Chains A and B, each alone.
Chain A
Amino acid sequence: MDRKVYFKGRALPFLLLLPQLAVTAVFFLWPAAQAVWQSTLQQDAFGLSTSFVGLENFAEVVADPNWRGAAWNTAVFATSVAVLALGVALFLAVQADKAIRGQRFYRTMLIWPYAVAPAIAAVLWLFLFHPNIGLIGRALNAAGVMWNYQLNGNQAMLLVVIASAWKEVSYNFIFFLAGLQSIPKSVLEAAAIDGARPLRRFWTVVFPLLSPTSFFLLVVNLVYAFFDTFGVIHALTKGGPGKATETLIYKVYVDGVDNLNLGSSAAQSVILMLLVIILTVIQFRFVERQVHY
């Protein structure tokens, strides 16, 4: 597989890289640097009085019980979303991998939710689960279940987990399906000849061969749950009731945009940035190097 293409000279490759580098610099590096700088400042909203406070903002953030609460929420939320989204997607992919009628239609339908914007997805779920106007919400209340996610923190968490996981199932589904289809038939047939039943074949042959895909998806799902679920939470619960569904990324928004506390918000986003960096490192070390596709 060692067929590399070499450019003559250096100008052309640099020139070709330039647009991407420029985009990265303007949209990622510059704002990131500003966030780091802002995180060391105490500043009023209008930027009229500024003072350098070093790491004080970070100390305050970490000592803040509300931030710790949000961190805990994020852990619960991200784990639940990842487990649910991966589990459902794997199940669906295994089913879709079988020879069934209308396979294409079935697959297309499953991929669809990924194209739905988070806010719209949230509204769809709201219309299902709202205690007063939601189809399922009303049915639950009529059936005697006290369903009101506006007041019950656990129900609110359940709802945002379901809504977020639903959106990510499609993405996982595509990857799992591709993973399943790349498993050589001969291996499965050999296992079958050896007398392994379907369930056993799945756990001893298919699942291990899927592990690189699974691990990759796990990291992607965690990153998604950490950073891409703002829209769902904002549209469904706004972090409430109480602070039951306030995740770290949502708190960054609330403190920065609603409360205009820029220093604290910046410090929080820098912490999140470190988290992404760690996840990326894990991704590269364990997935891209050690596991062979």
Chain B
Amino acid sequence: MLRRHLAAAALAVLALAGFNRPAPAQPAPAAPPAAPVEIQFWHGLPQPLGGLLEKIVSDFNASQRQYRVVPSFRGSYPETMVGAVAAFRANAAPHIVQMYEVGTGTMLAAGRAIRPVHELLAATGVNIDFNDYLAPVRGYYQAADGRQMSMPFNSSTAIMFYNKDMFSRAGLDPNSPPKTWQEVEAAARKLKEAGISCPMTTSWPAWIQVEQVLAMHNQPLATQANGFRGMNAEMRLAGPLMVRHMQNLVEWQRQGLFRYGGRDAAADGLFPSGECAMAFASSGLRARVVREARFQWGAAMLPYYSDVQGAPRNSIIGGASFWAMNKGAAANATRTEAEWRGVAEFFRYIASPEVDAKWHQDTGYVPVRRASYELSRRQGYYTQNPGSDVAIEQLIRGGAATDNSRGIRLGGYVEIRTIIQEEMEKAFQAGQSAQQAMEAANTRANAVLRTFERQNSRPQ
């Protein structure tokens, strides 16, 4: 009996103990001169993506003899993030960690925990031409003044998938997908009339129906250029466009035109299974659709409101980037010159257009460089796979990214996304109006920003 209670008590505190648990010790640096320098690399990509990533790593290891990058799968993105944080606190952080885009604000505020990429490259003399990177990709991981803070890698954006068979059945032209939300609504009505129970759905409700909508209409998600200019940013979730869009979604849900399929990627399966006619999802869903869909389908850009001035602009990215990390805060937790060099060399390797283009074609992530986009085009990838360039075209649409479409740089943003999804769910349950939902989300998200600001602005 007592043991049971102790176990329960332990459970209550274990969540915390986890943070202080020392990570497995790193291999001792005192290796014989001939042995390659080991670079620890933690990533958060499950199979099959993780395997493709590890293939890139082993190709890098085979391409030279000085460094050996040791990849290690650390669970989902949030788990990888927590793992890296805990490892840093235990002075055993990996050299490189893959961090999802919403963790960027947290990482940037981490100060001594990370080594900015621009600084790393300058110190090691490795040159990577970031000007060739797609603006929304590099911009997401840059400081406000344009210095590159982390290494862009797997990037996606959101697009629309639609079921051509269902379009034909509903008397819609399968080769001209709706471009605006007005057209989407009209198409959804026709689909419903044709007896299709789920005319449209969305994955990643916060990312696609809030962040992307605001960016593509050139409207702020938060002040201070979505947080790029400072931690004192305030949310702008309850603006007229956002409330209007949320009202539409709630109304469409009520009329059976839209189906809420759950948080994050939970709705991903609804499109390839043939359940929903239109799905807004990550461009990375493409691989699964190719594999599973038993019908004709097409890909198109995300819709926009044609009566909003300045729309449509580029969409923003999702995915992850690589961060170079310091080992820990302790005085003796340092890295050698050779280790940093190895990190920089690895970054140079993954930046090469050949590697990037192959990764893009294998996975459905977008190419992060123009050179890789061109290379894929020359290789005939887009003619063989029609629609696979929709995501890139949408990312580079409208010229240089604006303050509103560069990305999001808000601390604690993981939590804010959850808050947005929670309030949306309450609106879909008819527990509150769209206006109330967005205002509640705004208030709660601001509280998160203030907490984060307080935690990170004390004297270090």
Contacts and interface: CB of A to CB of B under 8 A. Distances in A.
Interface in A128-147: 132-133
Contacts of A266: 16
Given A240-B263, A241-B429, A258-B78, A269 B106 contact: no
A262 B11 contact: no
A265 to B, nearest CB: 6
Contact of B455 (A43, A151, A152, A253): A43
A177 B158 CA distance: 56
B381 interface: no
Interface of A: 24, 27-28, 30-32, 34-35, 38, 42-51, 132-133, 150-153, 216, 220, 223, 226-228, 230, 238, 240-243, 249, 252-254, 256-263, 265-266, 269-270, 272-273, 276-277, 279-280, 283, 288
Interface stretch (B149-157, B188-196, B413-421): B413-421
Name the prevailing secondary structure of the A interface residues: helix
A46 B455 CA distance: 11
B262 A150 contact: yes
A55 B10 CA distance: 22
A226 B8 contact: yes
Interface stretch (B40-48, B109-117, B282-290, B369-377): B109-117
B5 A276 contact: yes
Nearest to B413: A259
A291 to B, nearest CB: 13
B333 interface: no
A31 B16 contact: yes
B15 A260 contact: no
Given A51-B458, A242-B429, 16 more contacts: A27-B10, A31-B10, A31-B17, A32-B13, A44-B109, A46-B110, A47-B329, A153-B429, A216-B1, A240-B263, A243-B422, A256-B16, A257-B15, A258-B78, A260-B82, A261-B415
Nearest to A288: B1
A276 B12 contact: yes
B291 to A, nearest CB: 17
B16 A277 contact: no
A21 B15 CA distance: 22
12 contacts: A28-B13, A48-B111, A48-B329, A132-B270, A150-B261, A238-B263, A240-B421, A242-B426, A253-B15, A260-B82, A260-B85, A261-B412
Interface range on chain B: under 10, 10 to 19, 20 to 34, or 35 or more? Answer: 35 or more
B8 A223 contact: yes
B12 A240 contact: no
Given A35-B16, A48-B110, A276-B12, A28 B85 contact: no
B4 A223 contact: yes
Given A48-B111, A223-B4, A283-B5, A256 B15 contact: yes
Interface of B: 1-2, 4-6, 8-20, 78-79, 81-82, 85, 88-89, 106, 109-113, 260-263, 266, 269-270, 273, 275, 329, 412, 414-415, 418, 421-423, 425-426, 428-429, 431, 448, 451, 454-460
Contacts of B429: 151-153, 241-242
A159 to B, nearest CB: 13
A132 B13 contact: no
Contacts of A153: 429
Contacts of A46: 85, 88-89, 110-113, 329
Closest 6 pairs (CB-CB, A-B): A31-B17, A241-B425, A259-B415, A272-B12, A46-B113, A35-B13
A153 to B, nearest CB: 7
Contact of A279 (B5, B14, B412): B5
A258 to B, nearest CB: 6
Contact of A151 (B15, B260, B414): B260
Contact of A260 (B5, B106, B111): B106
A252 B9 contact: no
Nearest to A23: B6
Given A28-B6, A242-B429, A279-B5, A49 B459 contact: yes
B260 A150 contact: yes
A43 B79 CA distance: 19
Contacts of B12: 35, 227, 249, 252, 269, 272-273, 276
A265 B458 contact: no
